[in-house]
Amino acid sequence: MENFALLRVLGKGAYGKVYLVRKVGGKDHGSMYAMKVIRKNRVISKAKTLEHTQAERKVLEKVKGVPFLVNLHYAFQSDTKLHIVMEYVRGGELFTHLCNRGSFDIKTAKFFIAELIVAIDSLHQRKVIYRDLKLENILLDEEGHIKLTDFGLSKLLDPDELDRANSYCGTVEYMSPEVVDRPLDGYTDIVDWWSMGVIAFELITGCSPFTVDGGNNSSKDIARRILTKKVPFPRDINPDAKDFISKLLDKRLQTRLGYNGVHEIMNHPFLADIDWEKAGHRELKPEIVPLVTDSMDVQNFAQEFTNQAPVYSPAESPLSGNGLFRGYSYVTPSVYFDNNNIIGEELLSENIQGFLKDSSFFQKYRLDPSEKGMLGKGSFSVCRRCERKEDGAPFAVKIVSTRFGFQAQRESSILELVKGHPNIVRLIEVHSDQHHYYIVLELLEGQELLARLRRMAKFTEAEAAQIMKQLVSAVSYLHEKRIVHRDLKPENILFESDAVDARLRLVDFGFARQLPNAIDQQLKTPCFTLQYAAPEVLDVGDTLPEYNEQCDLWSLGVILFTMLSGQVPFRARSRTESATDIIQRIRQAEFSFDNDAWSTVSSDAKELIIGLLTVDPNKRLSMSQLKKHSWLHSNYTMQLGTPLMTPNRLPESAGEAFNETLQAFLNANREGFHLLDVEAAPLLQKRRGLKRQGGEKDTAHNNKRTPALGPVPEETQRPTVLGMSSPDAMMNYRCPQPGTIRETRGSDSS
């Protein structure tokens, strides 16, 4: 917080405040931002709130730079709070401007509707459902163009979820029938077009379509009207506007405007005079230009907040927050000379190079400015292609902010220790300057493991054994050096080229650690990707887990399972499963070989997997046992020539899905899990034909559908006619209200 000066309060919600702040120091010194400050102890008290808070951070990074969406500049955390630093949009909420005018004329309404359509479509193109479109979340910039803010309820869709979500969330006046009714198969991004219809009605009439003046307007009453009542149009409403809104507010999903694509909405007669190319480039002329006098002007925000003293109040540390917000921090690449920075595109331009003439790295290397030159991006680093100036030799360079200098030095020292092994990425040299550390590595031209397997016409068990043999050799070498990798997964296994006989390299030693000197002292910092995490790594309760090199052996078992079957043993089986379900299966060694993909896999391979995925690390195969296993011996694997189903079964999103589950896992594991002996693992008992003790639990209630109109937590009441009678309604440049999030029948984790 020493890099930001608090100036004014802009809003306040259940979990924190939004401040106007000025940046102190760095390249953007003096810049104004809006900073949302969220208390961790309030967020983690509810699982859904935690998930939505983490999702907001991900969505903001995903939509960075998209027109009509508020831009994220920083995200960071302290022991007690989360901080999201966004651009300051000085024109205030559209709700406030509508309140001041009562309603908008058709021309003004069309302008806002057109820009909103472009904004929502840009989210949908990036697989994001907004789910909280309302007047309070639409800001105006100083020119009068819109900016959507508050992505706390947005859903970043996973391809495996079939582009559907299930959570009951949003503001009830804007919820579509399918969100209110909660069908078993969930809903799609079409729910945002329903909300667009409500917005259009409000802009033109100044009223809310599903509230009744002087009547009962509880959330339950509004929800019932959404499901059963027609829209009460004024008699004098523009006919094209009425038809447009009616089709957006069609309760029948298949006939709703926008169901077949955004072109349906753009081509409606009501919007016939909109130049959509100009709309997409912010070239339509705004009908309302907010009054803004200077960079600190807050007159377009509610005085009940702006008159408050901007005090950064203390908060209690969460009791069980270890690791829950790992990876939360973010710095926009444009802030390339800030103390928190990572390198962005700007450093590739010639006019910036003058600032770096004294950097030893840039004296010797030049970065590849092409799109191909970006090799990877992490929470506090980027990896780029570069070439040595003297001979044009290509390399990869991992560029790390000096803020994370300790981590960079630790990683480079570990890479130095393991130099020389043919299956570990080779360290070339390390440079540093006042802004960054530069870890120069050999350039690997081949693909990651799963991508390589997907493109293979035929992949046999013998080939899997050869890959596994190289992996075992690399990990064994690490363990001989008393180093634990701690993040073994397919995306950290690259090939030197795309040649058939190319060797693999183990990469990314950012989580790697040297084992302590005392033989019985074990590592305690949880760093892992969910599906590859060993059971002992998952035991995060009141104390940190203890584990040694055995956790790497577990991960090797998961990788082998994935190579042989095309599936991960412990990943979600459906979109309704949570991270808790995955962890429970890991803790119980709950996997099977019943799938038809295993029909041609040898019994030796299955035996090896069982040995590696044994829950108790003391009973798990040791490295010496693994290296001696018959399945890895070339004279045996020559017989294993039957093609596997793996290339055809690996989903395109496999690698991404593995990583995206991590935050959900960290949320779930804070409750802790108890070690189940491998002999009692349910599926192991089933495989051996043993009868379960105590019979099956009755799970019928778990599949029972939640009533569509159950009691819904009340929101702050909105007036039927949009006037200034309710100052509380103007506060939504803020954190989501707790009433907007509701747990539902164990649906998706969003």
Sorting pLDDT into bands at 50, 70 and 90, what band is 467? very high
The answer on pLDDT for 132 being more than 80 is yes
CA distances from 160 to 55, 130, 182 (A): 17, 19, 20
Tell me which DSSP letter residue 690 carries: P
The candidate with the shortest Cα–Cα distance to 713, out of 154, 13, 41, 172, is 172
Out of 61-65, 97-101, 492-496, least confident range: 61-65
Q: Return the percentage of the chain with pLDDT > 90, whole number.
A: 33
Band (pLDDT 50/70/90 cuts) for residue 649 is confident
Sorting pLDDT into bands at 50, 70 and 90, what band is 46? low
**Mean pLDDT, range 57-83, rounded to an integer:** 81
For 322-359, how does the pLDDT look when each residue is reduced to its tens digit (9 = 90+)? 444 454 444 444 333 333 444 444 444 444 455 566 78
How far is the CA of 67 from the CAs of 130, 147, 278, 284, in angstroms? 15, 8, 12, 13
- DSSP H/E element including 513: strand 513-514
What was the pLDDT predicted at 74? 83
Band (pLDDT 50/70/90 cuts) for residue 585 is: confident
Per-residue confidence (pLDDT) for residue 99, from 0 to 100: 85
Q: Looking only at Cα atoms, what is the longest distance across the chain? A: 86
Q: Return the SS3 of 119.
A: helix
Higher pLDDT, 636 or 563: 563
> Which amino acid is residue 16, in one-letter code?
G
Which range has the worst mean pLDDT, 254-258, 304-308, 608-612, 689-693? Answer: 689-693
Q: Give the pLDDT score at 639.
A: 63
Instruction: Report helix, strand or coil for 216.
Output: coil
* pLDDT tens track for 652-665: 655 544 443 333 33
pLDDT band at 40 (very low <50, low <70, confident <90, very high): confident
Which token pair is 151? 């992505």
Burial of residue 132 (CB within 10 Å: 0-12, 13-18, 19+) is buried
Q: Does the pLDDT of residue 557 top 70, yes or no?
A: yes
Of 32-36, 302-306, 353-357, 637-641, which has the strongest mean pLDDT?
32-36
Q: Which residues of 449-476 are buried (b: 16+ CB within 10 A; e: fewer)?
A: bbbbbbeeeebbbbbbbbbbbbbbbbbb
Phi and psi torsions of 331, nearest 5°: -135, 125
Q: Is the pLDDT higher at 440 or at 574?
A: 440
Is the pLDDT reported for residue 699 higher than 80?
A: no
The answer to whether residues 624 and 554 touch, using CB atoms and an 8 Å cutoff, is no
Judged against a pLDDT cut of 90, whether residue 77 lies above it is answered with no
Is the model more confident about 339 or about 565? 565
pLDDT confidence bin for 241, thresholds 50/70/90: very high
**Tokens matching residue 436:** 């960054």
- pLDDT at residue number 542: 31
| pLDDT greater than 60 at residue 2 | yes
**Residues 6+ positions from 610 with CB-CB distance below 8 Å:** none
Q: Work out the pLDDT band at 497, boundaries 50, 70, 90.
A: very high
The average pLDDT across 99-117 equals 93
Q: How far apart are CA 307 and CA 322, in angstroms?
A: 36
Between 401 and 167, where is the model more confident? Answer: 401
pLDDT in tens, 397-414: 998 877 777 888 899 999
Long-range contacts for 357-364 (Cβ within 8 Å, ≥24 apart)? 358/433, 359/431, 359/433, 360/431, 360/432, 360/433, 361/397, 361/431, 361/432, 361/433, 361/436, 361/438, 361/440, 364/388, 364/389, 364/390, 364/431
Q: Tell me how far apart the alpha carbons of residues 435 and 689 are, in angstroms, rounded to a whole number.
A: 62
Q: d(Cα 136, Cα 123) in Å, to the nearest integer? A: 18
For 16-30, write each residue's pLDDT tens digit: 788 999 888 777 788
The arithmetic mean of pLDDT across residues 526-544, rounded, is: 43
Burial 629-650 (b: 16+ CB within 10 A, else e): bebbeeeebeebeeebbbbebb
Give the domains, in start order, of the chain with CATH numbers: 94-289+706-742 (1.10.510.10), 337-442 (3.30.200.20), 449-669 (1.10.510.10)
pLDDT at 6: 86
Question: Where are the extended beta strands (E) located within 518-574?
Answer: none
Residue 157 confidence class, pLDDT cut points 50, 70, 90: confident
Angle value at C-alpha 72, between 70 and 77, nearest 5 degrees: 135
Which pLDDT score is estimated for 110? Answer: 96
Instruction: Flag whether pLDDT at 724 surpasses 50.
Output: no
User: Is the model's pLDDT at 421 over the cut of 90?
Assistant: yes
Lowest mean pLDDT among 38-42, 49-53, 64-68, 695-699: 695-699
Is this prediction's pTM over 0.75? no
- Scanning the structure block, which residue is given the tokens 């294993």? 640
Question: What are the catalytic residues?
Answer: 132, 487
